[in-house]
């Protein structure tokens, strides 16, 4: 019987752990080895390489860089598994630690950057930044213009640290409370170290938002950066993965077909309170079947899981069956035979791609020439929006998962065909689940249709609205008004300790069945102008 080819990282040499890992992975790809085996230890990543990529620009705040500095790159592998070790509790004992140069608002090397891989798998691996990118403490003094924080043991405390994406917490329960104190733009001033474990910040707006005795957490910076990145990695498998600390988005998967994830955890260790200044896991233009089990996200700003594609915008009608479209941000392939949905007000026209060509980049996006099997609607005009089905999953399922202390939404869903089962949402600033598209800033689509939310629990959610939507579950497409998010089943969920249960704005054909509302002032708040149809049956109130 033939043995499975295996590469052991400790058999390779390099200037540091990062160079050693790069050499081992390159050898595995060249020899078609199926496993790269890591020791149960911390791999300190210092050296980095510059990798040419078009994958940097994902939103309006992204850099336009065409390369990324990375500690580890995996490109063009076939059936490769990075296999770490586990401790006695079954947690990852292999930790990749990326450097932190302590510069304000700078980009840092991606720990792991993966493009164009087939059947890539990661198992039993954790990720962190050191020195830590986040800090936390308790407010011990304040005036109208400044605050003093006693920094918790083990957290960074140095002169000149930035104050980005600051949030506050109840010292008794540890619950995230209120609106964020600072956002991605930061406080505008830096921390001053006034004692070995004390920092002072002079900013009247910050001082006005915090109280004595509150816990606060903040970040060194808040760039649109990606600590781990997977693009066009089909049949991606993630198992027993942990992120302790991140400088930007913890993880991004882009244009991947079929993803399986089990026990993927984004959660700080120690007493830092927060994991990242941006989203935990962004799923972008991925398709196929996306199956997620035991996803745990705690302490991120903004969203726990953010799922979307981008709108295709008609730029020019070329013939009765062909048009030029523009799409913001990074390029992704279309699929012949796939469907494009053209939107005119609340009407949808489904057309099939007969052929397409990439017509080049420009205006911080890409142009697509698309010929269709059917004739374009006679009402087609410049500016009309479309969504590509091949940029959304055939089915997304997330079950048995937890979203806690999220200074955004737990799930931000701009996809169709979504199933969310037996998940908990606790202390989320925006709705625990927020359904709907966005147009004005990032052009994120599409609307959310064919949604099932079942057997979930919501506790203290949506205390600060997003796109005007609040509560445990919000339905709102930013930049639109109408019956856009449809066929939504909300079944057998528990919603408690929140002002609003379901806030249905741009919603239609919503089925609320068998839900329990405890301590909810307004179980259902609907938009009377949109006037979508909402069915209520067997719900319980207390």
Find residue 234's DSSP bridge partners: 118
Q: State the average pLDDT over residues 357-377.
A: 96
pLDDT of residue 58: 81
Written as one string, the DSSP assignment of 250-268 is EEEEES-EEEEEEEEEE--
Average pLDDT over residues 223-244: 97
The closest of 124, 128, 111 to 74, measured between CA atoms, is 111
pLDDT at site 2: 52
> Per-residue pLDDT tens for 150-171?
999 999 999 999 999 999 999 9
Whole-number percent of the chain with pLDDT over 70: 100
Q: Per-residue pLDDT averaged across 229-251, rounded?
A: 98
| pLDDT for 1 beyond 60 | no
* Strands 494-496 vs 451-454: parallel, antiparallel or unpaired: unpaired
pLDDT tens digits along 207-216: 999 999 999 9
Taking the C-alpha atoms of residue 16 and residue 211, their distance in angstroms, rounded to an integer, is: 45
Q: Rounded to whole angstroms, how far apart are CA atoms 101 and 99? A: 6
pLDDT tens-digit map of 450-466: 999 999 999 999 999 99
Q: How far is Cα 148 from Cα 145, in angstroms, rounded to an integer?
A: 11
**pTM, full prediction:** 0.97
| Whole-number Cα distances in Å, 182 to 118, 195, 245, 412 | 40, 24, 19, 21
Tokens 């203290």, residue located:
460
| Cis previous bond, 446, omega within 30 | yes
In tens, the pLDDT along 40-53 reads 999 999 999 999 99
Query: Strand order in 215-219's β-sheet?
Result: 176-177, 164-169, 215-219, 134-142, 146-151, 198-202, 192-195
pLDDT(237) > 50? yes
d(CA 110, CA 107): 9
Q: Does 323 score more than 60 pLDDT?
A: yes
Q: How far apart are CA 34 and CA 411, in angstroms?
A: 34
Q: Which two tokens stand for residue 321?
A: 């069956």
Q: How distant, in Å, are the alpha carbons of 66, 210, 230, 257 from that of 234? A: 23, 46, 9, 5
Q: Which two tokens stand for residue 348?
A: 């949808």
Kindly indicate the confidence band of residue 71, based on its pLDDT and cuts at 50, 70 and 90: very high
Backbone angles phi, psi at 21, to 5 degrees: -65, -40
pLDDT at 372 over 60: yes
Over residues 403-431, the mean pLDDT reads 98
Q: Tell me if residue 325 falls in helix, strand or coil.
A: strand
Give me the chain's average pLDDT, please: 96
Residue 415 has pLDDT above 60, yes or no: yes
Pairing of strands 249-254, 540-541: unpaired
Give residue 54's pLDDT: 87
Contact 299, 243 (CB under 8 A): no
pLDDT at 59 over 90: no
Residue 63's pLDDT band (cuts 50, 70, 90): confident
């Amino acid at each position: 019987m033939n043995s499975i080819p295996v590469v052991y990282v400790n058999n390779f040499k390099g200037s540091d752990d990062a160079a050693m890992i790069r050499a081992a992975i390159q050898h595995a790809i060249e020899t078609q080895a199926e496993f790269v085996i890591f020791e149960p230890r911390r791999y300190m990543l210092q050296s980095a390489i510059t990798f040419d990529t078009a994958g940097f620009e994902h939103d309006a705040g992204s850099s336009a860089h065409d390369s990324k500095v990375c500690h580890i790159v995996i490109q063009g592998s076939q059936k490769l598994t990075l296999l770490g070790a586990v401790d006695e509790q079954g947690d990852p004992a292999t930790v990749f630690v990326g450097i932190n140069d302590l510069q304000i608002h700078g980009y840092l090397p991606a720990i792991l950057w993966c493009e164009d891989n087939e059947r890539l798998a990661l198992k039993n691996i954790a990720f962190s930044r050191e020195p830590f990118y986040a800090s936390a403490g308790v407010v011990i003094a304040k005036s109208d213009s400044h605050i003093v924080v006693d920094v918790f043991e083990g957290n960074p405390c140095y002169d000149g640290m930035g104050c980005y994406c600051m949030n506050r917490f109840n010292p008794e329960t540890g619950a995230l409370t209120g609106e964020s104190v600072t956002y991605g733009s930061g406080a505008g001033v830096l921390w001053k170290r006034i004692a070995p474990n004390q920092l002072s910040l002079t900013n009247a707006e910050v001082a006005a938002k915090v109280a004595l005795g509150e816990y606060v957490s903040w970040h060194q910076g808040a760039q649109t950066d990606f600590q781990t990145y997977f693009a066009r990695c089909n049949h991606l498998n993630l198992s027993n993965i942990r992120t302790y600390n991140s400088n930007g988005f913890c993880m991004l998967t882009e244009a991947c077909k079929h993803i399986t994830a089990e026990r993927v955890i984004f959660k700080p260790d120690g007493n830092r309170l927060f994991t990242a200044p941006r989203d935990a896991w962004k799923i972008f233009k991925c398709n196929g079947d996306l199956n997620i089990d035991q996803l745990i996200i705690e302490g991120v700003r903004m969203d726990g899981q953010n799922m979307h594609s981008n709108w295709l915008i008609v730029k020019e009608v070329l013939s009765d069956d062909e048009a030029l479209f523009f799409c913001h941000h990074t390029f992704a392939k279309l699929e012949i035979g796939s469907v494009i949905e053209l939107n005119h007000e609340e009407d949808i026209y489904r057309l099939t791609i007969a052929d397409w060509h990439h017509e080049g980049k420009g205006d911080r996006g890409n142009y697509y020439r698309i010929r269709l099997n059917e004739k374009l609607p006679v009402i087609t005009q410049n500016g009309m929006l479309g969504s590509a089905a091949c940029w959304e999953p055939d089915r997304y399922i997330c079950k048995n998962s937890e979203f806690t202390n999220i200074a955004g939404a737990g799930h931000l869903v701009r996809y169709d065909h979504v199933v969310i089962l037996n998940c908990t949402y606790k202390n989320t600033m925006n709705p625990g689940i927020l359904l709907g598209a966005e147009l004005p800033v990032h052009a994120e689509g599409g609307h959310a249709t064919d949604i099932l939310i079942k057997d979930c629990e919501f506790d203290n959610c949506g205390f600060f609205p997003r796109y005007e939507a609040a509560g445990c579950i919000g339905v709102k497409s930013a930049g639109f008004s109408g019956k856009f998010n449809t066929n939504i089943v909300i079944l057998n969920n528990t919603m408690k300790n929140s002002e609003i249960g379901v806030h249905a704005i741009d919603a239609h054909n919503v089925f609320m069945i068998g839900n329990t509302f405890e301590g909810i002032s307004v179980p259902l708040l609907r938009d009377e102008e949109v006037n979508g149809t909402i069915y209520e049956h067997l719900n319980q109130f207390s």
